[in-house]
Amino acid sequence: MTRLILATRNTGKIAELRAILGDAGLPHELVGTDAYPEIPDVKETGVTFAENALLKAHALARATGLPAIADDSGLCVDVLGGAPGIFSARWAGRHGDDQANLNLLLAQLADVPDEHRTAHFACAAALALPDGTERVVEGRLRGTLRHKPAGTNGFGYDPILQPEGETRTCAELSPEEKNAISHRGKAFRALVPVVRELLG
């Protein structure tokens, strides 16, 4: 059984990818970076989601000698020219302060009418092998941004993005409902044929 390493310590993300690989009948053992505590986090210095995902995947593959998967994702607001984009997690200045990021974005969009509040979550997922082989796939979830947060599931900008065809925000969906349509779910599922091609 080939061991695959996923560039995250997020147990939810590991479980999600495990389920997707399992559903596809792939026999690979998947572990997160917490299995290798000696490996430092990789700085995301790329200017696109794909570049950041590849940076992390290649660093892990080199450090462990194993095939590595990494993803990078964020919210892209049309009226802001695609921002916050790769800066989604640190839009308000401090990395990972979800509430501050949300408050700042809502303030920036305060005067923007509903018809111009279109946005999408984007995710790039990369697979890198120790020999330098690489592949990147992408997934998107389009929707519109609410004026006020709603829902307690999910994280980040989930409480304000209402997916196309939905009356609820991402944070009002169950984890199963969200995974079925999410940008990360789409990207991870698109990675399945790539894993099959490169790793058998």
Question: Where residue 61 sits, what CATH number does that domain have?
Answer: 3.90.950.10
Distance CA(15)–CA(50), nearest Å, equals 22
Which residues form the domain of 128? 3-199
How many domains are there within the chain?
1
Active site residues: 72
How confident is the model over 71-80, as pLDDT tens digits?
A: 999 999 999 9
Q: Is the Cβ–Cβ distance between 138 and 191 less than 8 Å? A: no
Burial letters for 98-132: b for 16+ Cβ neighbours within 10 Å, e otherwise?
beebbeebbeebeeeeeeebebbbbbbbbbbbeee
Q: Is the Cβ–Cβ distance between 39 and 64 less than 8 Å? A: yes
If one counts every other C-beta atom within 10 angstroms of the C-beta of residue 32, the result is 18
Least confident of 12-21, 146-155, 186-195: 12-21
> What does the CA dihedral 55, 191, 78, 88 come to, rounded to 10 degrees?
-40
Q: Is the pTM of this model over 0.85?
A: yes
pLDDT score, position 49: 97
pLDDT score, position 17: 87
pLDDT score, position 19: 86
